[in-house]
Amino acid sequence: MDVILPEPWSRTVADCPDRPVRHPCLWLLHGLSDDHTIWQRRTSIERYVDGLGLAVVMPAVARSFYTDMRHGGRYWTYVSEEVPAVARSLFPLSSRREDNFAAGLSMGGYGAFKLALRHPERYAAAASLSGALDLAAWAAKPADSSDIRLIFGDAAKVTGSDDDLLALAGRLAALDGALCPRLFQWCGTEDALYAGNLTFRDRALQVGLPLTYTEGPGNHTWDRWDLQIQRVLSWLPLPRPV
């Protein structure tokens, strides 16, 4: 994983000189063809978070779809349990729900929503940019069959499972929609994943989840994500330094 740490806020240090600062944290996830270095190489994320008092943790999960693979690594356990535990042992990161957020693009958008919907007690907000949000539809595509076999073993096992965001949205709303993290979703209207984004949007709004949905011209490209991650940072419920 790559980690961006903020300089301590002068106000916080002055007010609590003997108390270690615990930074709010954005868990920022990569897409299918990338790794933990991509956000720093293709966007100005380090510059965008400067002055926000926000740490950014970017783990690598290969092509796992943030899932404990049938034939491969236990990447869901890794990203949901091991990475936070290790990062917090090494760096001054807050474990409070109100200080933790997830975001990602494409496969990482799916991963961010999966973290938020499966662990709403841990995350205050999550954002998906051009996310692969209708996983059952993606799994049904013959072109992706090799990845599906490695991850799930059988595409039919996706629908209704804990890896299906549409099912997770319904379950969370049925339990207590008020406990759901705030969700931000953006997708380009020319993106191949646009239809799946509309499917998730409609499902989330149907069950009453707190979703901010936006779209606009664009494809599956970094110029769009570089712009939208700035919107995500402005949207996050961060404690703003003064």
The tens digit of pLDDT for each residue in 39-88 reads 999 999 999 999 999 999 999 999 999 999 999 999 999 999 999 999 99
39, two tokens: 């956000």
pLDDT digits (tens, 9 = 90+) for 150-193: 888 876 678 899 999 999 999 988 776 568 899 999 999 999 99
Kindly state the helix (H) or strand (E) to which residue 234 belongs, with its residue range. Answer: helix 222-235
Report the C-alpha gap between 230 and 49 in whole angstroms.
9
> Residue 167 falls within a domain, yes or no?
yes
- Is 241 inside a domain boundary? no
Amino acid 154: pLDDT: 76
What is the per-residue pLDDT for 153? 82
| pLDDT per position as a tens digit, 82-119 | 999 999 999 999 999 999 999 999 999 999 999 999 99
Distance between CA atoms of residues 98 and 193, nearest Å: 30
> Cβ distance 163 to 65 under 8 Å?
yes
139 pLDDT above the threshold of 80: no
User: DSSP strand E in the chain: where?
Assistant: 2-4, 25-29, 55-58, 100-105, 125-129, 182-188, 211-216
- Report DSSP state, residue 4: E
H-assigned helices in 49-189? 75-77, 83-90, 107-118, 135-139, 145-151, 165-176
The pLDDT value given to residue 168: 96
Q: Kindly state whether residue 242 falls inside one of the protein's structural domains.
A: no
Q: At 115, which amino acid appears?
A: L
Give pLDDT, residue 146. 76
pLDDT surpassing 80 at residue 227: yes
207 domain residue, yes or no: yes
Residue 212 has pLDDT above 80, yes or no: yes
**CATH code: domain of residue 230:** 3.40.50.1820
Classify residue 240: in a domain, yes or no.
no
Number of domains into which the chain is organized:
1
The answer to whether residue 41 sits within a structural domain is yes
Range of the domain at 73: 2-235
Q: Is residue 19 part of a domain?
A: yes
Q: Is residue 198 part of a domain?
A: yes
Q: CA 30 to CA 28: how far, in whole Å?
A: 7
